[in-house]
């Protein structure tokens, strides 16, 4: 699916003007924000859209005949259509608004629990975020199903050659992230989906880390479920989506009960609303949903081809600069097999100490296990320093990070 872009020339300095937070100072230093894998920054265009909702047409949706309610409903549902088109879902009601990727995964895990029995098998990968491990462990504990793990290589890529041996006629579901949040590894999800379907298993892909960098086409992938969070895509926090094939969503029971998700309620019996409302109980994050649509518009204005080209340059440049350090350890795959993430450590130093010192110099890096403790246990380390880049970052910022790391390392050795 080709991404249209309205930018004739990618001008990172002009793009940075869209992000007011990039003009902030931290401890007297200009902010260098390299924690984009945790959350991306929000452009003024999205901020304005959210402010406009609260300023001009703040009202509850789907339930009112008055003008404000209808205006808010139209804006919210138009965002759903924008997101449908972005991911190339066949139908708008296959896009469910959620509180984020974690919420979306739990909807599927909770619902599929009723279909599993003792002895059934589900597969996760060794590269997963805790949000794509814990819900399935809970589901297996309740049902007696067995959780199996597709292992990883030392270079941070999955051992795809072992997938055929794990799949069987007992496999009911396969769960894998599109991109590893800790290492940036891009997983071969199309092959995994096809192999899982060959044995009759359903597949959920955690797309949270892929979505800022890769425009997934859910029909081309033939994926059963795909999840993302808006705050990874220049949108607001507290909102995301679950894509699901229509017939699979219809099979799942509601995750929550309450208003909006019902068709008829009596004390004797309740019947549920159709898609997508069956899974959207209560008043949603209306401003968040509308802001998510604005963020999708903004990313399309930048263009995903432009994003990839610029971010590939950044991660290549940063990798070469980091290799200048004598005692550095880099984790994960080569540049051409990952998104704009670099995880690293310095021999004998704790990642927390590095992160704390460079923060004093205005550099925002993430340290620790990144909610991916199995990966850290694989490498026999407590955590890493993670630098994650976005299209609004620059090589000059990378140079500033390198100088800050040089100072931090001298202080600690």
Tell me which of 49, 140, 234, 371 is the catalytic residue.
371
User: Are 387 and 341 within 8 A, CB to CB?
Assistant: yes
For residue 7, what pLDDT is reported?
Answer: 74
Confidence of residue 6 (pLDDT cuts 50, 70, 90): low
Residues 295 and 176 in one domain: yes
Q: Higher pLDDT residue, 6 or 305?
A: 305
Candidate from 73-87, 96-110, 140-154, 272-286 with smallest mean pLDDT? 272-286
Told to judge if 371 belongs to the known catalytic residues of this protein, a careful annotator would answer yes
Q: Residues 318, 355: one domain?
A: yes
Same domain, residue pair 105 and 245 = yes
By residue count, the chain amounts to 413
d(CA 119, CA 320): 48
pLDDT band at residue 2 under the 50/70/90 scheme: very low
- Residue 137 shares a structural domain with residue 284: yes
The pLDDT tens digits for 290-328 are: 999 999 999 999 999 999 999 999 999 999 999 999 999
Please check whether residues 155 and 82 belong to one and the same domain: yes
CATH number at residue 235: 3.40.640.10
Using alpha carbons, list the distances in angstroms from residue 341 to 179, 311, 345: 10, 9, 14
- Residue 258 is predicted with a pLDDT of 72
Task: Supply the pLDDT for residue 308.
Answer: 97
Q: Across the chain, what does the average pLDDT equal?
A: 95
> Are 184 and 270 found together in one domain?
yes
Residue 309 — φ and ψ, nearest 5°?
Answer: -60, -45
Mean pLDDT of 341-364: 97
| pTM confidence score | 0.95
Cα(128)–Cα(126) distance, integer angstroms: 6
Are 285 and 333 found together in one domain?
Answer: no
* pLDDT per position as a tens digit, 76-122: 999 999 999 999 999 999 999 999 999 999 999 999 888 999 999 99
pLDDT at 262: 67
Q: How far is CA 361 from CA 228, 330, 355, in A?
A: 32, 22, 10
Residues of the domain holding 71:
47-300
State yes or no: pLDDT of 3 exceeds 90: no
Q: Does 256 have pLDDT greater than 60?
A: yes
Mean pLDDT of all residues in 223-246: 98
Residues 163 and 275 in one domain: yes
Q: Strands 146-150 and 121-125: what pairing?
A: parallel
Residues 35 and 69 reside in one and the same domain: no
Pick from 300, 316, 351: which residue ends a domain?
Answer: 300
The number of domains in the chain is 2
Which residue, of 283, 300, 317, is where some domain finishes? 300
For residue 173, pLDDT beyond 90: yes
Task: Return contacts of 1-5, CB within 8 angstroms, 24+ apart.
Answer: 1/88, 1/215, 1/217, 1/220, 3/215, 3/300, 3/303, 3/304, 3/305, 4/300, 4/303, 5/300, 5/301, 5/302, 5/303, 5/304, 5/305, 5/306
Asked if 83 and 98 count as a contact pair (C-beta separation under 8 A), the reply is: no
**276 with 379, same domain?**
no
The pLDDT tens digits of the residues spanning 382-407 come to 999 999 999 999 999 999 999 999 99
CA 148 from chain center: how many Å? 23
**Does residue 52 carry a pLDDT above 80?**
yes
Tokens of 17: 């003007």
- Tell whether omega for the bond before 302 is within 30 degrees of 0, i.e. cis: no
266 pLDDT above the threshold of 80: no
CATH number of residue 32's parent domain: 3.90.1150.10
Q: Are residues 329 and 284 in the same domain?
A: no
**1: pLDDT strictly greater than 50:** no
Q: What digits encode the pLDDT tens for the residues 176-191?
A: 999 999 999 999 999 9
Q: How many Å apart are CA 105 and CA 137, to the nearest integer?
A: 12
Q: Is 93 within a domain?
A: yes
Domain membership of residue 3 (yes or no) is no
**Do 262 and 372 belong to one domain?**
no
Residue 164 · residue 150 · CB < 8 Å: no
Percent residues over pLDDT 90 in the chain: 89
Give the residue from 300, 330, 365 where a domain finishes.
300
């Amino acid at each position: 699916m080709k991404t249209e872009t309205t930018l004739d020339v990618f001008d990172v300095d002009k793009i940075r003007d869209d992000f007011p937070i990039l003009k902030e100072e931290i401890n007297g230093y200009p902010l260098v924000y390299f924690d984009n894998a945790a959350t991306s920054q929000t452009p003024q265009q999205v901020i304005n859209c959210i402010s406009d909702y609260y300023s001009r047409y703040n009202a509850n949706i789907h339930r009112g005949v008055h003008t404000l309610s209808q205006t808010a409903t139209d804006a919210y549902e138009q965002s759903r259509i924008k997101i449908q088109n972005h991911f190339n879902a066949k139908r708008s009601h296959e896009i469910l608004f959620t509180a984020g990727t974690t919420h979306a995964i739990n909807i599927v895990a909770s619902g599929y629990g009723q279909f599993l029995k003792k002895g059934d098998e589900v597969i996760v990968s060794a590269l997963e975020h805790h949000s794509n491990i814990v819900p399935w462990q809970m589901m297996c504990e309740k049902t007696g199903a067995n959780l199996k793990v597709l292992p990883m290589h030392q270079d941070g890529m999955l051992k795809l050659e072992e997938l055929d041996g794990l799949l069987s006629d007992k496999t009911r579901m396969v769960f894998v992230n599109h991109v590893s949040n800790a290492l940036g590894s891009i997983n071969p999800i199309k092959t995994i989906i096809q192999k899982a379907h060959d044995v009759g298993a359903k597949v959920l892909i955690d797309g949270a880390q892929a979505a800022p960098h890769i425009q997934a086409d859910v029909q081309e992938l033939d994926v059963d479920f795909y999840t993302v969070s808006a705050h990874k895509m220049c949108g607001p926090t507290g909102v995301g989506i679950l894509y699901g094939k229509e017939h699979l969503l219809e099979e799942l029971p509601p995750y929550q009960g309450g208003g909006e998700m019902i068709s008829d309620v009596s004390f004797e019996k309740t019947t549920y609303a159709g898609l997508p409302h069956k899974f959207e109980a209560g008043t949603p994050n209306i401003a968040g949903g509308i802001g998510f649509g604005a963020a999708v518009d903004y990313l399309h204005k930048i263009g995903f081809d432009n994003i990839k080209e610029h971010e590939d340059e950044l991660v290549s440049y940063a990798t070469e600069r980091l290799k200048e350090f004598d005692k550095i350890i880099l984790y994960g795959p080569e540049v051409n097999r990952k998104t704009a993430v670099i995880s690293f450590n310095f021999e004998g130093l704790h990642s927390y100490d590095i992160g704390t010192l460079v923060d004093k110099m205005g550099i925002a890096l993430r340290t620790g296990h990144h909610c991916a403790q199995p990966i850290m246990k694989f490498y026999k380390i407590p955590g890493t320093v993670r630098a994650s880049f976005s299209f609004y970052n620059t090589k000059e910022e990378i140079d500033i990070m390198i100088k800050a790391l040089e100072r931090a390392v001298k202080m600690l050795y």
